[in-house]
Amino acid sequence: MRIRRTTEPTAAAQDGEDEQQAIELRSELDELLRARQYAGQRERRLTEAVRAVPERQYPDPELLRQLAQARTLREGLGARCLELSEQLQALEDRLRQPAPRQPAPGQSVPRQSVPGQSVPGQSDTPLPGPQRPDPQRPEQHPGPRHSMPRQPMPRQPMGARFDDAHAPATPPAPPSAPIPPTPPPPPEPPRRRSPAELTALAERITALHRRGATEESADLVAQAAVLLPPPDTTRLAGLLARGGPPGASVRLARGAARGTPEQAVGTLAELRRAGLAEEAAELFHALWSYPADALPALLAALERAGQLADGATLLWEWGSAPTAEVAALAAALQGSGRSADARTLLRQAAGRPTADLAALAVSLAGPLPAVLLRELAAARPPGELVRLAAALDGRPELYGELLAALTADVDRHRTTLAALRTAGLPTTPAEPRRFRWGRRHG
């Protein structure tokens, strides 16, 4: 009987092709990340130049054209980087899966191990992957995280200035009784304003600016951004964009990030629904400057609003933050029970140089160093892993975590372990020292 030879590639050959493809994807992703970084720096310089123009003057049209061109370039590079990152993640997940066991000659292959066939009781629905935002969306707007510190706006002057713009001031409430030990009730939602009230408010902002009271006009815009509900903020932004002072609508949208996460996310959705793309982009840019302790609440608000793509984009953007900030962000996410987001953040940060990765591993606490080192062991080539191991040689606990990740799959990391031995680095965890105490003599 003639035995038919199969022409399909073996599992080892397929793994080799996948590893080579992963190396090529990492190289292309590194180049695109550098290009995107340069485009983002140019965009920030042009944005600062536009904002430096006095409020009574309009920016140079050529400057605005260059800013729009830089923003389009950065958004296109960002969309491509995100696409390659998802491809690389899927490829690395496939490489981490154990190879299927080959049957002995004459042994039938179990039906579950045959790809392309459905098995009763098993679902063929693929697992949901990470959401990718629309590359045409203008809100992917990186910038320095500390460009706008998030601080609560004062509420006391609002009754004397904000309400006087469109309605009689409400008399102050009588002093309340001492706060009981029970938790206070949730705050009431902001009062909705009528179209006439919002129109009067926009006219007052414009009149103050025309009279030269630019500080009072800007202060009124900042207070409205915090105290108005999202629909009213969006309507006021539209009025200011059509007839208000230059840049007032953008400042109003950016100021909404100083409110609660629910208010900021609701305003972002309303701005997009109203077609105010520039204002929505500024607000999304401001969300990137949220402090670390507010990130879990922001991501939860985005999830409740159905804006999962925005949360994924923010995690991807935060992955390029400085090392100390990434450590603080990951700790905040891990401490709030969002370990999956912390792992995603560390995976996005795993593309930086080896020295930064070693510093990041040292800065992390709890289970996060092991999470980062496992991601690096699965994603980095042997040469970079050897350099990382050399940088962590003076940290026994971190070096042990890296070795644990490598020795968990010896067949896959055989080349890395051999390179460690060649470099004179240990390939087994160091045993704790045992001190021998001598007999004391009186």
Residue 234 has pLDDT above 80, yes or no: yes
Structure confidence at residue 299 (pLDDT): 94
- Both tokens assigned to 308: 């999962």
- For residue range 248-299, list pLDDT tens digits in order: 999 999 999 998 999 999 999 999 999 999 999 999 999 988 888 889 999 9
Q: Tell me phi and psi for residue 7, to 5 degrees.
A: -105, 5
Q: Name the residue among 260, 192, 250 with its Cα closest to residue 221.
A: 250
Q: Check residue 335 and give its pLDDT.
A: 92
Q: What are phi and psi of 20, to 5 degrees?
A: -65, -40
Q: What is the DSSP letter of 337?
A: T
Predicted confidence (pLDDT) per residue in 357-386, tens digit: 999 999 998 899 999 998 888 888 888 889
Is residue 63 scored above 50 in pLDDT? yes
What is each CA distance from 255 to 40, 260, 437, in whole angstroms?
22, 11, 66
Distance of CA 441 to the CA centre of its chain: 64
Q: How far apart are the first and last CA of the chain?
A: 90
Instruction: Please check whether residue 370 is in contact with residue 399, taking contact to mean a CB–CB distance below 8 angstroms.
Output: no
* Token output for 93: 């997940």
Better pLDDT: 60 or 273:
273
* Confidence bin at 28 (pLDDT 50/70/90): confident
What's the pLDDT score for residue 101? 54
Report how far residue 215's alpha carbon sits from residue 28's, in angstroms, rounded to the nearest whole number. Answer: 48
Q: How far is CA 409 from CA 12, 186, 379, 398, 413, in A?
A: 15, 52, 13, 18, 6
Confidence of residue 159 (pLDDT cuts 50, 70, 90): very low
| Per-residue pLDDT at 127 exceeds 50 | no
Q: Is the pLDDT of residue 331 over 80?
A: yes
Cα separation, 365 vs 356, in Å, equals: 16
Q: How far is CA 239 from CA 198, 205, 246, 377, 392, in A?
A: 8, 11, 12, 54, 57
211-to-80, 167, 200 alpha-carbon distances in Å: 47, 22, 16
pLDDT tens string 164-205? 444 444 445 555 555 555 555 555 666 788 889 999 999 999
d(CA 442, CA 428): 42
Distance CA 299, CA 214 (A): 35
Give the confidence band of 342 by pLDDT, cuts at 50, 70, 90. very high
Burial 90-107 (b: 16+ CB within 10 A, else e): ebbeebeeeeeeeeeeee
- For residues 199 and 239, the answer to whether their CB atoms sit within 8 Å is yes
Cβ atoms of residues 59 and 53 within 8 Å: yes
Q: What single-letter DSSP state applies at residue 382? A: H
**CA dist 154 → 69, 94, 201, 436 (Å):** 38, 52, 19, 65
The domain spans of the chain are: 12-95, 148-165+193-287, 293-431
Contacts of 386 (CB under 8 A, 6+ apart): 416, 419, 420, 423, 425
pLDDT at 254: 92
The structure tokens 């609508």 sit at 249
Question: Across all residues in the chain, what is the average pLDDT?
Answer: 75
User: Mind listing the pLDDT tens digit for each residue in 390-400?
Assistant: 999 888 899 88
| Cβ atoms of 138 and 271 closer than 8 Å | no
* CB-count exposure of residue 88 (10 Å: 0-12, 13-18, 19+): buried
Helices (H), ranges, 164-260: 195-210, 214-227, 230-243, 248-255
- Mean pLDDT of all residues in 83-109: 64
Residue 81 pLDDT:
74
Range of lowest pLDDT (34-43, 341-350, 412-421): 34-43
Band of pLDDT at residue 97, cut at 50, 70 and 90: low
In the prediction, which pLDDT does 147 show? 42
Report the pLDDT value the prediction gives residue 183, as an integer from 0 to 100. 53
Contact 377, 386 (CB under 8 A): no
Confidence tier at 160 by pLDDT (50, 70, 90): very low
Name the more confident of 88 and 229.
Answer: 229
The one-letter amino acid code at 84 reads: L
Q: Report the distance separating Cα 62 and Cα 68, nearest Å.
A: 10
Burial readout 335-356 (b: 16 or more C-beta within 10 A, e: otherwise):
ebebeebbbbbbbbbbbbebee
Q: What is the predicted pLDDT for the residue at 431?
A: 59
What's the pLDDT band for 303 if we cut at 50, 70, 90?
Answer: very high
Task: Tell me how far apart the alpha carbons of residues 341 and 339 are, in angstroms, rounded to a whole number.
Answer: 5
